């Protein structure tokens, strides 16, 4: 995985996609199709998934303009300064703390505060101002140019075996201290810049 399709024009969804594992298939978001025109969404079903995954763990996401993505369950999407669901994943600048409802579902129709799950930074790039002590399971950057910063000595604590995915062609910077006892693995072909004084004892 990933066989990305590029559609230079309008796109109509009406069919089934079967997912095969070419190595490394796990949590997070996988780009299936880019398109440049308008979308007619008559539905795209997931037919099969690799062994060990279940159909109720998979969602086809159309809430990001000009993208069709496969999202595996347990993932929250950063929505920047947008705290009310409107069916779109905006991304962009905002404050990441325990209380703001600027995390949204794969279809952009529900908002929640941060719940220490898998975080995806998509939509428009921006500066994410972390505040307080935050825990994450996994992290993924699908848009180039995101920076996570802090003005109050925030920390990001990893759970056991956490991964940080940076998609190909994407650069992301984390300027917040990574802490905790779990190991962190950098995944995928993008560039990850760690610019804080980290003390994660599990290793990065």
Percent of the chain with pLDDT over 70: 97
Backbone angles phi, psi at 151, to 5 degrees: -110, 0
Q: Which H or E element spans position 49?
A: none
State whether 80 and 146 are in the same domain.
yes
| Residues 65 and 95 occupy one common structural domain | no
Regarding whether 37 and 69 lie in a shared domain, the answer is yes
> What domain range is 144 assigned to?
76-204
pLDDT digits (tens, 9 = 90+) for 18-27: 999 877 787 7
- The DSSP bridge pattern shows strands 103-104 and 111-112 to be antiparallel
Q: What is the pLDDT of residues 134-185, one digit of tens each?
A: 999 999 999 999 999 998 999 999 887 789 999 999 999 999 999 988 789 9
Contact yes or no for 197/178 (Cβ under 8 A): no
Question: How crowded is the C-beta side of 166, counted as CA atoms within 13 Å?
Answer: 18
- Closest to 62 in 3D by CA, of 17, 13, 20: 13
Are residues 85 and 54 part of one domain? no
Supply the mean pLDDT for the chain.
92
The Cα–Cα gap between 9 and 27 comes to 30
The answer to whether residues 60 and 115 belong to one domain is: no
The answer to whether the CB of 163 falls within 8 A of the CB of 182 is no
From the CB of residue 78, how many other CB atoms can be counted at a distance below 10 Å?
Answer: 27
Q: How many domains does the chain have?
A: 2
> Do 44 and 107 have their domain in common?
no
**86 and 52 within one domain:** no
Kindly report the pTM of this predicted structure: 0.82
**Do the beta carbons of residue 149 and residue 170 sit within 8 Å?**
no
* 58 and 82 within one domain: no
Alpha carbon distance 138, 130 (integer Å): 16
Identify the domain boundary among 73, 98, 132. Answer: 73
**Residue 116 and residue 136 in contact, taking contact as beta carbons nearer than 8 Å:** yes
Q: Which two three-digit tokens encode residue 58?
A: 């998979």
Please tell me whether residues 67 and 88 are part of one structural domain: no
20 shares its domain with 83:
no
Give the strand pairing for 75-78 and 118-121. Answer: parallel
Count of CB atoms within 10 A of residue 182's CB?
18
């Amino acid at each position: 995985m990933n066989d990305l399709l590029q559609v230079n024009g309008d796109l109509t969804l009406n069919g089934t996609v079967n997912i095969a594992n070419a190595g490394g298939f796990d949590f997070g978001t996988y780009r299936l199709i880019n398109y440049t025109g308008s979308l007619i969404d008559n539905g795209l079903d997931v037919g099969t998934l690799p062994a060990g995954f279940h159909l109720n763990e998979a969602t086809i996401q159309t809430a990001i303009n000009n993208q069709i993505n496969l999202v595996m369950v347990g993932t929250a999407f950063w929505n920047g300064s947008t705290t009310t669901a409107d069916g779109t994943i905006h991304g962009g600048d905002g404050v990441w703390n325990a209380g703001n409802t600027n995390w949204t579902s794969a279809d952009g129709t529900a908002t929640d505060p941060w719940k220490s799950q898998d975080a995806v930074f998509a939509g428009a790039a921006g500066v994410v101002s972390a505040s307080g002590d935050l825990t994450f399971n996994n992290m993924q950057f699908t848009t180039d140019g995101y920076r996570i910063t802090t003005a109050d000595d925030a920390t990001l604590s990893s759970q056991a075996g956490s991964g940080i995915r940076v998609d190909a062609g994407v650069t992301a910077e984390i300027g917040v201290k990574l802490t905790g006892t779990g190991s962190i693995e950098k995944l995928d072909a993008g560039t990850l810049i760690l610019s804080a004084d980290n003390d994660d004892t599990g290793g990065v």
